[in-house]
């Protein structure tokens, strides 16, 4: 007994010493790192860090800039999810800023008079697609908990840029051109005028774009974080949502009811790490963790980024995880989501037994996590929803000088959202993430429309911890439902394949969400494609794998960042502040200076 007590005391001392050492290390200023989808946004974040701000401060400043320079992806009229890692306590908080359906929403609002689903773009540009914007309220909630700089200071870079103007980037020009070529930007004359020149042509690369209306909105929000819920800004939002064609049901009461949530993340093991991401209403976190759990069982001894065995394991895991995600995951305030059962070891072991690396699956059905974990059967609850998501989204990963980390994914859903503007910003079309059909094969769909309900999302801001609970990596991406595959494959890249964060981001995508897998053009090696095809995988070349992965990872040489070359992001490193003791002595003032 005495030896046992000595052992316990020795263990306790070692643990205490390790924690004390970690606390001491975390208290030391370190280099901060920013990775966002646009140079202006990365610089805004870096400016906040230089001024003593936290990762939360930097992320908010960056997102306010992105709403201006990358309006096709995110902004004040949308929503998002944010994960925060506390460098001192090592706690992770998840923030839910997903838009919600108005009180007047109905399960059949995306069906036409014949009871068939509306055309997708008809629904996107309708007023019915607009959910109550929740991004700003979520950012304020995160700032209250983790910010240091005054709220108003975070708006300064975006206000300055909106007033002075910025050069239209190649990506913004390309997406304006694409939207017009496909018949878009027609429902709101103000939106089309904002994005075109005097001759009605898409704004050219390098053209200076100013947005005084956005600057004024930011000034109002800097003084009153709830300004979108009432007054001038609320009127602008409601009027845009109620405009023809196909007016929506959004009201002032819906805007006032916006209440973002602070949640616990969903976490699961992968190799020696703990992967944490967003819980429902995001399906992204659950699916990424399930996919990685299945892949780890199938790829016991991983090889490298060109290995057909690894990719077969990844594609099989993708098919199984996507099938479960389509069937079970929705807003858990409205339907029971078996999150714990989907990630349980017994269920993953059972699903793994379906994998045969020598051949592709002929068909994949959702599993039954209830029965596999000793509970009631769940497979007969729902009709399977395969609603797709448009890739109008952005992601950033930021670490501050104290080791706090933010992974933020924000969105207006489709390109330029609903293509309707209010007070200088675009409004979302988030409600098209709901299933257009409330029933499939006579069964209710978990992701059906309901008043006050959040539509299912695939956004997956992710933070990964080491076995001792320290920060290891942060990653996330835009990309609609492909986010799940983008994020999981990148994690495989910097863990199993030994790649740097940047090299892992650069690897070509293969997305197996259904029977035909999409492979990224020119980035997936031809020998790998031939081998996978010989195993029965149907691979369709795609030019549209427009991920926007931005990540950070701790290495023995410090923190490395990565920015997706498929977009316009950059990584900025911000040196730690110089301790006062090492600063040179001040020069004598003019009165005391010696004369010649």
Could you tell me how far CA 11 lies from the centroid of its own chain?
A: 40
441 token code pair = 């094969």
Are 314 and 295 a contacting pair, CB within 8 Å? yes
Are 359 and 315 a contacting pair, CB within 8 Å? no
Could you tell me how far CA 480 lies from the centroid of its own chain?
A: 10
Q: Give the span between the Cα atoms of 191 and 405, in whole angstroms.
A: 35
Are 218 and 155 a contacting pair, CB within 8 Å? yes
Strands laid side by side in the 558-563 sheet: 266-270, 273-277, 462-465, 471-475, 550-555, 558-563
The three-class DSSP label of residue 93 is strand
Are 427 and 133 a contacting pair, CB within 8 Å? yes
74 token code pair = 């995110």
Q: Give the span between the Cα atoms of 489 and 451, in whole angstroms.
A: 35
500 token code pair = 């740097």
Q: Which helix (H) or strand (E) holds 269?
A: strand 266-270
Query: DSSP letters of 191-259?
Result: HHHHHB-TTSPBPPTT-EE--HHHHHHHHHHHH-TTGGGSHHHHHHHHHHHTSSSS-----HHHHHT--
User: Around Cβ 48, how many Cβ atoms within 10 Å?
Assistant: 30
The three-class DSSP label of residue 76 is coil
Q: Which helix (H) or strand (E) holds 542?
A: strand 538-542
- Among residues 393, 432, 462, 490, the one annotated as catalytic is 393
At 203, phi and psi to the nearest 5? -55, 135
Are 197 and 235 a contacting pair, CB within 8 Å? no
Q: Give the span between the Cα atoms of 288 and 275, in whole angstroms.
A: 9
Q: Is 393 a catalytic residue?
A: yes
SS (H, E, C) 51-69: CCCCHHHHHHHHHHHHHHH
DSSP 8-state code for residue 578 = P
Which residues are designated catalytic? 393
């Amino acid at each position: 007994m005495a030896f046992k007590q000595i052992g316990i005391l020795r263990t306790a001392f070692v643990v205490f010493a390790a924690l004390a050492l970690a606390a001491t290390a975390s208290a030391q200023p370190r280099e901060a790192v920013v990775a966002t989808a646009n140079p202006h946004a990365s610089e805004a974040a870096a400016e906040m860090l230089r001024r003593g701000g936290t990762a939360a401060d930097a992320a908010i400043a960056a997102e306010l800039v992105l709403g201006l320079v990358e309006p096709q992806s995110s902004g004040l009229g949308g929503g998002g999810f944010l994960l925060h890692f506390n460098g001192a306590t090592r706690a992770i908080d998840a923030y839910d800023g997903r838009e919600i359906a108005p009180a007047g929403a109905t399960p059949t609002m995306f069906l036409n008079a014949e009871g068939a689903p509306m055309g997708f773009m008809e629904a996107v540009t309708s007023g019915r697609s607009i959910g109550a914007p929740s991004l700003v309220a979520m950012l304020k909630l995160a700032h209250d908990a983790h910010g240091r700089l005054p709220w108003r200071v975070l708006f300064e870079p975006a206000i300055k840029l909106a007033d002075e103007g910025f050069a239209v980037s190649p990506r913004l020009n390309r997406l304006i051109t694409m939207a017009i070529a496909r018949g878009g930007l027609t429902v709101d004359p103000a939106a089309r005028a904002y994005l075109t020149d005097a001759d009605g042509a898409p704004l050219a690369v390098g053209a200076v774009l100013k947005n005084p209306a956005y600057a004024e909105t930011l000034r109002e929000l800097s003084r009153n974080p709830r300004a979108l819920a009432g007054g001038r800004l609320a009127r602008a939002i409601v009027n845009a949502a109620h405009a023809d064609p196909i007016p929506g049901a959004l009201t002032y009461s819906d805007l006032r009811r916006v209440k973002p949530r602070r949640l616990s993340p969903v976490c699961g093991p992968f190799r020696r790490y703990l992967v944490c991401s967003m819980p429902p209403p995001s399906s992204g976190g659950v699916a990424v963790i399930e996919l990685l759990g299945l892949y780890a069982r199938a790829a016991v001894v991983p090889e490298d980024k060109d290995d057909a065995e690894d990719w077969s394991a990844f594609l099989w895991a993708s098919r199984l995880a996507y099938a479960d995600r389509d069937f079970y995951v929705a807003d858990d305030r409205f339907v029971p989501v078996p999150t714990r059962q989907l990630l349980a070891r017994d269920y993953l072991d059972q699903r793994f037994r379906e994998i045969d690396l020598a051949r592709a699956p002929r068909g994949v059905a959702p599993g039954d996590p209830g029965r596999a974990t000793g509970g009631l059967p769940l497979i007969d609850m729902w009709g399977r929803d395969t609603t797709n998501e448009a890739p109008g989204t952005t992601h950033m990963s930021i670490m501050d000088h104290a080791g706090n980390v933010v992974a933020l994914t924000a969105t207006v859903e489709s390109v330029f959202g609903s293509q309707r503007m209010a007070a200088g910003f675009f409004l979302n079309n988030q409600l098209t993430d709901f299933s257009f059909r409330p029933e499939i094969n006579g069964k209710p769909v978990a992701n059906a429309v309901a008043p006050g309900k959040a539509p299912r999302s695939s956004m997956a801001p992710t933070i990964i911890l080491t076995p001792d609970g320290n920060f290891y990596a942060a990653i996330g991406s835009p990309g609609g439902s492909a986010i799940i595959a983008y994020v999981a494959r990148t994690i495989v890249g910097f863990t199993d394949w030994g790649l740097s964060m940047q090299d892992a981001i650069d690897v070509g995508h293969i997305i197996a969400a259904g029977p035909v897998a999409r492979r990224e053009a020119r980035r997936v090696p031809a020998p790998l494609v031939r081998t996978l095809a010989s195993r029965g995988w149907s691979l369709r070349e795609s030019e549209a794998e427009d991920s926007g992965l931005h990540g950070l990872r701790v290495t023995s040489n410090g923190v490395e960042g990565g920015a997706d070359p498929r977009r316009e992001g950059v990584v900025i490193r911000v040196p730690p502040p110089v301790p006062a003791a090492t600063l040179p002595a001040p020069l004598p003032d003019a009165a005391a200076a010696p004369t010649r």
